[in-house]
Amino acid sequence: MGQRDIYILNGPNLDHLGVREPHIYGFETLADVEAACRREAEGWDVNLIFRQTNAEHEMVGWLHEARVGAMGIVLNPAAFSYAGYAMLDALKMCDCPIVEVHISNIHRRDEEWRTRSIVTRTATAIVSGMGTDGYALAVRHLLYLGQRRNAA
């Protein structure tokens, strides 16, 4: 873990991206998302750490790993967005920028509970409703933030 590390962390059911409700989440797989993020970071001296879990305790451990010194975190909390209080507490300890990513626009979802993410209160920025393109945009944002910090 270091100042050149960008963590891209994915919550539950995202391992089924591409086959789970493609009318909402699209046909791209998580491997496609990772490849797009790596393309975005080409030419930058960064280390992308790309992970997915269905277990909140594993996500908490990764956030503890990134807590101090990481360049940033791109987080798609998925269903942890609505009830992941242990994850929320871990996010509050992070000293790096956090970009919350949602593939769908959670504010337009039919289920009322999906419109309120508890994670948002810890996020530096939010990307929602841009499909899987939101991940690469989040990585780009963290790269530019890091460049500005290093120039200062």
Determine which one of 7, 16, 23, 25 is catalytic: 25
Numbered residues of the known binding site: 76, 89, 103-104, 114
Structure tokens at 42: 């080409």
20-24, 52-56, 94-98, 119-123: least confidently modelled range: 20-24
Q: Is 121 helix (H, G, I), strand (E, B) or coil?
A: helix
Determine which one of 85, 102, 141, 144 is catalytic: 102
Kindly tell me if the per-residue pLDDT of 109 is higher than 70: no
Numbered residues of the known binding site for substrate: 76, 89, 103-104, 114
User: What letter represents residue 145's amino acid?
Assistant: L
Burial of residue 91, with CB atoms counted within 10 A of its CB: 0-12 exposed, 13-18 middle, 19 or more buried: buried
DSSP letter (8 states) at residue 131: T
DSSP letter string over 8-35?
EEE-TTGGGTTTS-HHHH-S--HHHHHH
| 16 included as an active-site residue | no
Q: What is the spatial distance between Cα 107 and Cα 4, in angstroms, rounded to a whole number?
A: 33
Count how many domains the chain has. Answer: 1
pLDDT digits 0-9 by tens, 20-51: 989 888 999 999 999 999 999 999 999 999 99
Q: By the 8 A CB rule, do 127 and 74 touch? A: no
Q: Considering Cα of 103, then 134, then 56, then 48, what sign does the dihedral take?
A: positive
- Residue 75: pLDDT band with limits 50, 70, 90: very high
- Domain that includes residue 145, residue range: 5-151
- Averaged pLDDT of the chain: 92
| 25 included as an active-site residue | yes
Tell me which residue has tokens 């039919």: 110
Q: What is the spatial distance between Cα 33 and Cα 78, in angstroms, rounded to a whole number?
A: 15
Instruction: Give 50's strand partners.
Output: 8
In the sheet that 72-76 helps form, which strands lie side by side, from edge to edge? 47-52, 5-10, 72-76, 98-102, 125-128
Q: What is the spatial distance between Cα 91 and Cα 93, in angstroms, rounded to a whole number?
A: 5
CATH number at residue 105: 3.40.50.9100
